[in-house]
Amino acid sequence: MEGNMKVAIMTDKMKMEFTTRPIPKPKDDEVLVKIGHVGVCGSDLHYFEAGGIGKNIVHPPFVLGHEAGGTVVEVGKNVTHLKVGDRVALEPGKTCGHCEFCKTGRYNLCPDVIFFATPPIDGVFQEYVAHEAALCFKIPDNMDTMEAALIEPLAVGMHAARQGDAHLGQIAVVTGAGCIGLVSIMALKAMGVTRIIAVDVQEKRLQKALELGATDVINGMEKDTIEEVLRLTDGAGADLTIETAGTEITTRQAINFAKPGSTIVLVGYSASGEEKLPMSLALDKELTFKTVFRYRHIYPVAIEAVAAGNINVKGIVTNVWDFDDIENAMIQSVEDKANIVKSVIKIN
């Protein structure tokens, strides 16, 4: 396909502009995708607001966005499983395929991964992208490109639930009811967990958690979280905790209210990257800690769960913005976290 496309570029902290670039040409093993929707991730907002995350520093101009769904408009000559017109969810990380982690199926740990919107790799706040066909997963007719875009954050929540061996009969606590907390709640419910307690300090997020599957909520600004979890579990504590808030306070609380012998899955990144934790208590309880870095082998399962109606992934979305309004969308998403849980950009 010939011609130019519109691209939104981050030019500075809290600044975005539009430019035009040539529509990319797909390689033999790639497809060209016309982007329909792109979700705004917390990492996008952090890059936009702070200019970097740890060692990953934005050097403008930079294209944000990695949660994408769209329609195939051109296929490379070696591609056989996709055709023009197929709608797809794009898994954003291309791995080397040759390292120890790729060869053992843990490709999310590949040290040479090329991941959309992780500096210096541009993201997909643009009209078209050429992407490896093996990382483009066809969605069924009863799904749309917004749901396809939301498969990416859902995959994180499903990986977290898998890491915690979520199953029927558990009482699970999810600390943090932002986007990843909410998809974790939906994943836990889909995997059979019947009692899910959500913890946050924003009332709107707690109400959204109840809407999407939480059975109980705790506002950490109003009540003592540890006491409330113990009260709700008749003193036993949580069988499984998924920590998505990324704060030292919530992680310490998780260790305190965890049932002896239980598992805590750490998902959220702390601002400092370092936390002081009551490890003696964790040892006394013989707790198991699992961590999450993105996901692996999840997209087909996540798509099936959404298509079957087991997970209402659109339920996390609070705001949909037109592409032309993307700078305002990003600014509002940074400044109004109390009301904006999840933003999605409609590209086409």
| Distance, CA of 291 to CA of 289 (rounded, Å) | 7
CA–CA distance, 88 with 297 (Å, rounded to integer): 16
Tens of pLDDT, residues 313-333: 999 999 999 999 999 999 999
What the block records as the tokens of 189 is 């419910």
Lowest mean pLDDT among 121-125, 189-193, 338-342: 338-342
pLDDT in tens, 160-209: 999 999 999 999 999 999 999 999 999 999 999 999 999 999 999 999 99
Token pair for 160:
């977290």
According to CATH, the superfamily of the domain at 4-138+318-346 is Medium-chain alcohol dehydrogenases, catalytic domain (3.90.180.10)
- Statement: the pTM of the whole predicted model exceeds 0.85: yes
The pLDDT, as a whole number, for residue 195 is 98
The domain 157-291: what is its CATH number?
A: 3.40.50.720
The span from the CA of 68 to the CA of 248, in Å, is 31
The residues, ordered by sequence, that sit 6+ positions from 307 with a Cβ below 8 Å of its Cβ are 139, 140, 142, 143
pLDDT for 61:
97
Grade residue 248 by pLDDT with cuts at 50, 70 and 90. very high
Tokens of 169: 């009969």
**Domain limits of the chain?**
4-138+318-346, 157-291
The total of other beta-carbon atoms located within 10 Å of residue 179's CB is 27
Alpha helices in 298-341 (DSSP H): 299-307, 326-335
Q: The tokens of 298 are what?
A: 């999840």
Residue 50 structure tokens:
């702070």
| Confidence band of 289 (pLDDT split at 50, 70, 90) | very high
Can you list the alpha helix ranges (DSSP code H) found in the chain? 42-50, 100-103, 145-163, 179-190, 203-212, 225-232, 248-257, 279-284, 299-307, 326-335
